[in-house]
Amino acid sequence: MEIVRVPVLSDNYAWLIHDAGRTVALDPGEAAPVAAAAAARGWTIDQVWLTHWHPDHVGGAAALKAQGASVAGPAAEAGKIDGLDTLLAEGDTIAVGDAVATIWSVPGHTAGHIAFHLAERATIFTGDTLFAMGCGRLFEGTAAQMHANMRRFAGLPGDTRVYCGHEYTLSNARFAAAAEPENEAIAERLADVIAMREQGEPTIPTTIALERATNPFLRSVDAEELAERRAAKDAFKG
């Protein structure tokens, strides 16, 4: 299985997933860069997978569908996403080539947000729920829901690769250092992230093991602490 990062819009990442001659575009915020990245590799986009309804994740879906791709996304948000061919909910599976993804319901950022877990490939696509060193804003859900998501993600094998929807790691790392000033792993990672971004390097994917050590939201002991940290991050100016 090959996974290709495609920067779109200002700070989004769309993902191409290619296996056994088939290709998925996941969360294509715009179509042209994603289609170009596939074409450069001689791939045809067969499917579009969507984690949630926000325009910066679904903006290119209609154009890719017009080029022949089918579109799959969260059943709970079907009323907000035009053109869904396949409705996905907790426990459903969907495949690209020989790679099978199981759907996780992970509400909080949006009410119907889903993640795609490819267990046999030690890979999960988390959209705007779990970020490198962060979590999504609680636009349509609760801290309790997001804390449950974080516990579920934390339970994955440590080598699981996490592919999220934005390059937010530098701002997340700065907040993490303020939230846990005694955490040496966070301090070390902040230095690494600064160096990577100064070189124009992406910080995604991350791993579950790295998030367990350095993500203040994944490390929150309960929903109350996560809520406090989320509110503090929303107001953070560092």
Residue positions annotated with a catalytic role: 52, 54, 56-57, 109, 128, 166
Spatial distance between the Cα atoms of 127 and 136, rounded to a whole number of angstroms: 9
Spatial distance between the Cα atoms of 85 and 71, rounded to a whole number of angstroms: 5
Residue 165 DSSP class: S
166 is in an annotated binding site: yes
117 is in an annotated binding site: no
147 is in an annotated binding site: no
Alpha helices of the chain — where are they, by DSSP H?
Answer: 31-40, 55-58, 61-66, 143-154, 169-179, 184-198, 208-214, 223-234
Own/partner long-range contacts of 91-97 (Cβ < 8 Å, ≥24 apart) = 94/47, 94/49, 96/1, 96/17, 96/18, 96/19, 96/20, 96/22, 96/23, 96/24, 96/46, 96/47, 97/1, 97/18, 97/19, 97/20, 97/21, 97/22
54 is in an annotated binding site: yes
Binding annotation for Zn(2+): 52, 54, 56-57, 109, 128, 166
Binding annotation: 52, 54, 56-57, 109, 128, 166
